[in-house]
Amino acid sequence: MNHLGTKQLKTERLLLRPLAMEDAEAMFDNWASDPDVTEYLTWPAHQSMDVTRLTLRHWTSQYVKNDFYQWAIVPHGTEGPIGTISVVAHDNSVDMVHIGYCMGKPWWGKGYMTESLSRLIKFFFEEVGVNRIESKYDVRNASSGKVMEKCGLLYEGTTRGSDVNNQGICDSALYGMIRSDYYNT
C-alpha cells in the first residue's frame, strides 16, 4: 500500500480534515470531556482542556508521517469538529488498517459516523491501496457495530475476554472488508 497521510476528504455533509491546536475547545466541549462518549473507549474523559491540548499537540506533531491518519469530523457550514475517525493500528505486511472513531453525543444517530467510515473505505481501497480494513467493538456497544455493518464490513467473529476499555475486560466483535469485497470480485 502507498500511505498518503491524513488527506482532507469530503462527503455530502462532512469535511474530514487534520486536527489543529485551535480545535482544543471544540474537542473538549463536544466529545473529549464526556464520560458517556468514552464509556467503551480506552482513554478517560478529559478532566481539563490541558489534557485536550496535550493530546492535540501529540497528534499535530505526527501529521508529518504519511502513515498517521487522524481526521477531525466537521459538518459543512461549521468550524469546530464533532468527533474523530482514525487509524488506530496498521500492518504493512498484510496491507491492513484498523479504524477507530468517536463523536459527541448531540450528533449520535444522524448517520454521521457511517458517512465518515464509508468515505474512509473508499479512500483506503482506491487511493492508499489497502487489502483489508477492519474494526472491532465491545459487544455491549451495539451502535458501533451497526456503523460497521451499515458500511458493508462483514462480521468475522467474537473473541471472549480479548479486549479492555473503560468498562474493564470485554468480549470483542471483529468486522472486516477485503479488497475483493469492495470491488465485488
Ligand X SMILES: CC(C)(COP(=O)(O)OP(=O)(O)OC[C@H]1O[C@@H](n2cnc3c(N)ncnc32)[C@H](O)[C@@H]1OP(=O)(O)O)[C@@H](O)C(=O)NCCC(=O)NCCS
Check residue 168 for interaction with ligand X (CB under 6 A).
no
Q: How far is the CB of 150 from ligand X (least distance, A)?
A: 6
Nearer Cβ to ligand X (62/166): 166
Q: How far is the CB of 55 from ligand X (least distance, A)?
A: 15
Q: How far is the CB of 183 from ligand X (least distance, A)?
A: 24
Nearer Cβ to ligand X (13/179): 13
Residue from the set 59, 71, 112, 175 that interacts with ligand X by CB under 6 A = 112
Q: How far is the CB of 116 from ligand X (least distance, A)?
A: 8
Region from 17-25, 60-68, 112-120, 121-129 binding ligand X, contact rule CB under 6 A: 112-120
The 3-state secondary structure of the chain reads CCCCCCCCEECCCEEEEECCHHHHHHHHHHHHCCCCCCCCCCCCCCCCHHHHHHHHHHHHHHCCCCCCCEEEEEECCCCCCCEEEEEEEEEHHHCEEEEEEEECHHHCCCCHHHHHHHHHHHHHHHHHCCCEEEEEEECCCHHHHHHHHHCCCEEEEEEEEEEEECCEEEEEEEEEEEHHHHCCC
In the region spanning residues 35 to 94, those forming contacts with ligand X, defined by CB under 6 A, are 37, 40-41, 83
Check residue 137 for interaction with ligand X (CB under 6 A).
yes
The Cα 164–Cα 185 span in angstroms is 36
Residue ranges binding ligand X (CB under 6 A): 37, 40-41, 83, 101-103, 108-114, 137, 141-144, 146-147
